[in-house]
Amino acid sequence: MPASLAFFKSLFRRLTVLLVTTSLVACTTVRPVPLGQSEKPSLYGRQDDLHLGDKISVTTVDGRVLDMQITELHPETIEGKIPGQTSTIQLRDEDVQHIQRTEISGAKSTGLAVGVVALVILVPMLLLMHAFGSIV
């Protein structure tokens, strides 16, 4: 096998591993949730934009920071599960200083995927064309 062909096979394998690895990662964004400031109540009777299953980081009025996933919402309380623990925690709205919600950013994830696919396809193609004299 010619040395240049072995080089390109090796490069293609590495780029494929990069593609697979980055496709498993979703880009996330952390956004603050203004408490009690929505124009209309949610299904849970709350005046904010929280939903069951949301992953949030809560800062309490006594300074604790809790990362949790919402399991129940009520008009004046939030109940959630802290990763790695079996019990749930219930927080009253008056105990919460602020909340940040972690969201998956579709635009960032799509941009990353398109960039990686372009890298995996275009770079080897350009290198092959250059190696075999199609591009000056």
58 and 69 together in one domain: yes
Grade residue 129 by pLDDT with cuts at 50, 70 and 90. Answer: confident
Which pLDDT value is given to residue 49? Answer: 76
User: How confident is the model over 94-112, as a mean pLDDT?
Assistant: 78
Check pLDDT > 80 for residue 82.
yes
Range of the domain at 67: 29-104
Which pLDDT value is given to residue 59? Answer: 92
User: How confident is the model over 1-12, as a mean pLDDT?
Assistant: 68
Rounded to whole angstroms, how far apart are CA atoms 97 and 94? 8
18 and 77 together in one domain: no
* Residues contacting 86, CB < 8 A, separation 6+: none
Q: Do residues 32 and 48 make contact, with C-beta atoms less than 8 angstroms apart?
A: no
89 and 34 together in one domain: yes
Which pLDDT value is given to residue 69? Answer: 93
125 and 89 together in one domain: no
Rounded to whole angstroms, how far apart are CA atoms 47 and 112? 35
